[in-house]
Chains A and B, each alone.
Chain A
Amino acid sequence: MSQPFRTEKGGRIDRGQQLTFTFDGEEMQGHKGDTLASALLANGVHLVGRSFKYHRPRGIVTAGSEEPNALVGVYRKGDQTPNLRATQVEVYQGLEAISQNRFPSLGFDVGAVNDLLSPLFPAGFYYKTFMWPKAFWDRVYEPVIRAAAGLGKPPKNPDHDTYGNIYAHCDVLVAGSGPAGLAAAVAAAETGAKVILCDEQAEFGGSLLSDENATIDGKPPAEWVRDTIVKLQGMDNVTLLSRTTAFGYFAHNYIALAERVTEHVSDPDPKLPRERLWQVRAKEVVIASGAIERPMVFPENDRPGILLADAGRTYLNRYGVKVGNKVLIATACDTAWQAAFDLADHGVDVVAIADLRETPPENLVAIAQARGIRVEAGCVVTGTLGRKRVKAALLGRLMTSGQVASAGQVACDAILMSGGWTPTVSLYSQSRGKVVWDETVGAYVPGKSVQHERSAGAAKGLYGLQATLEDGYAAGEAAAKAAIGKEAKVTYAAASGGEAGQGAVLGALPHDRNASRVKAFVDYQNDVTAKDIKLAAREGMQSIEHIKRYTTTGMATDQGRLSNMNALSIASGALEKPIVDVGLTTFRLPYTPTTFGLFAGVARGDHFDPVRKTPSHDWVVANGGVYEDVGQWKRTWYFPKSGEDMHAAVARECATVRESVGLFDASTLGKIEVVGPDAAEFLERMYTNPWKKLAPGRCRYGLMLNDAGFIVDDGVIGRLADDRFHVTTTTGGAPSVFATMEDYLQTEWPDLDVWITSTTEQYAVAAVQGPKAREVIAPFIEGIDLSADPFPHMSVKEGTFCGVPCRLFRISFTGELGFEINVPRRHGKMTWETLAGEIEKHNGTAYGTETMHVLRAEKGYIIVGQDTDGTVTPQDAGMSWAIGKKKHDFVGKRGLERPDLVAENRKQFVGLLTKDPKVKLEEGAQITVAQNPATGTPAEGHVTSSYYSPAMGRTIALAIVKNGHALHGKSLYVPMPDGSIEVEVTSPIFFDKEGARLNV
Chain B
Amino acid sequence: MLLIYCPYCEVERPETEFHNGGEAHIARPADPSKTSDEEWAEFLYMRSNVKGIAVERWRHIHGCGRFFNVVRDTVSDKILKVYKVDDPMPDLEALAKEAGR
Which positions in A face B, CB cutoff 8 Å?
250-252, 254, 281, 432, 450-451, 707-708, 739, 742-743, 746-748, 750, 888-889, 893-895, 898-899
Contact = CB atoms under 8 A, between A and B. Distances in A.
A296 B29 CA distance: 67
Contact of A746 (B31, B35, B85): B85
Contacts of B77: 251-252, 432
A895 B33 CA distance: 10
B32 A894 contact: yes
A888 B43 CA distance: 19
A898 B37 contact: yes
Contact of A739 (B19, B37, B85): B19
A970 B23 CA distance: 47
A432 B29 CA distance: 39
B19 A746 contact: no
A432 B33 contact: no
Where chain A touches its partner, the secondary structure class is: mixed
B31 A281 contact: no
A450 B86 CA distance: 31
What 8 A-B pairs have minimum CB-CB distances, sorted nearest first? A894-B32, A251-B77, A252-B3, A254-B1, A746-B67, A748-B28, A252-B2, A450-B76
A895 B57 CA distance: 23
Given A748-B27, A893-B32, A894-B40, 9 more contacts: A251-B1, A252-B2, A281-B14, A432-B76, A708-B44, A747-B57, A893-B33, A898-B40, A899-B37
B33 A888 contact: yes
Interface string B11-43: 000100001010000011101110101001101
Given A739-B19, A889-B33, A747 B85 contact: yes
A895 B44 contact: yes
Contacts of A450: 76
B28 A707 contact: yes
Contacts of A739: 19, 59, 61
B90 interface: no
Nearest to B4: A252
Contacts of B3: 252, 254, 281
Nearest to B35: A894
A889 B3 CA distance: 39
Interface in B32-81: 32-33, 35, 37, 40-41, 43-44, 57, 59, 61, 65-67, 75-77
A743 B32 CA distance: 18
A901 to B, nearest CB: 10
A252 B67 contact: no
Contacts of B29: 894
Contacts of B32: 707, 889, 893-894
B1 A742 contact: no
B21 A894 contact: no
B34 to A, nearest CB: 9
B65 A742 contact: yes
Interface size class of B (residues with CB under 8 A): 20 to 34
B17 to A, nearest CB: 13
A902 to B, nearest CB: 11
Contacts of A895: 40, 44
Interface of B: 1-3, 14, 19, 21, 27-29, 31-33, 35, 37, 40-41, 43-44, 57, 59, 61, 65-67, 75-77, 85-86
A898 B85 contact: no
Contacts of B85: 746-747, 750
Contact of A743 (B14, B21, B40, B41): B21
Contacts of A746: 66-67, 85
Contacts of B35: 894
A282 to B, nearest CB: 11
Given A748-B28, A888-B33, A894-B32, A252 B40 contact: no
A708 B40 CA distance: 9
A743 B67 contact: yes
Nearest to B44: A708
A742 B59 contact: yes
Nearest to A745: B67
B7 to A, nearest CB: 13
A254 B1 CA distance: 6
A747 B67 contact: yes
Nearest to A898: B37
Contacts of A747: 57, 67, 85
18 contacts: A250-B1, A252-B2, A254-B3, A432-B77, A708-B44, A739-B19, A742-B67, A743-B21, A743-B59, A743-B67, A747-B57, A750-B86, A888-B33, A889-B32, A894-B29, A894-B40, A898-B41, A899-B37
Nearest to A746: B67
Contacts of B21: 743
Contacts of B2: 251-252
A755 to B, nearest CB: 11
B67 A894 contact: no
Contacts of A750: 85-86
Nearest to A891: B28
A386 B69 CA distance: 67
A563 to B, nearest CB: 29
A889 B31 contact: yes
B31 A707 contact: no
Nearest to A256: B1
Nearest to A279: B1
A747 B28 CA distance: 9
A584 to B, nearest CB: 18
A140 B57 CA distance: 51
Contacts of B75: 432
Nearest to A709: B44
Contact of B44 (A707, A742, A743, A748): A707
B94 to A, nearest CB: 21
Contacts of A251: 1-2, 77
Nearest to B1: A254
B15 to A, nearest CB: 8
B54 to A, nearest CB: 14
A889 B28 CA distance: 12
Nearest to A889: B32
A451 B77 CA distance: 10
A252 B37 contact: no
A894 B41 CA distance: 10
B56 to A, nearest CB: 13
A747 B14 CA distance: 23
A344 to B, nearest CB: 51
A750 B33 CA distance: 21
Contacts of B76: 432, 450-451
Contacts of B57: 747
Contacts of B41: 898
Nearest to B31: A889
Contacts of B28: 707, 748
Contacts of A250: 1
Nearest to A707: B44
A898 B28 CA distance: 16
B47 to A, nearest CB: 14
A884 to B, nearest CB: 14
A213 to B, nearest CB: 43
Contacts of A898: 37, 40-41
Nearest to A281: B3
Given A707-B28, A746-B85, A895-B40, A252 B1 contact: yes
A748 B31 CA distance: 12
Residue among A250, A252, A743, A748 with max Cβ neighbours from chain B (10 Å): A252
A450 B2 CA distance: 14
A876 B86 CA distance: 38
A707 B33 CA distance: 12
A349 to B, nearest CB: 55
Contacts of A708: 44
A895 B41 CA distance: 9
Nearest to B67: A746
A251 B67 CA distance: 22
Nearest to A900: B37
Nearest to B100: A448
Nearest to A899: B37
A708 B41 CA distance: 8
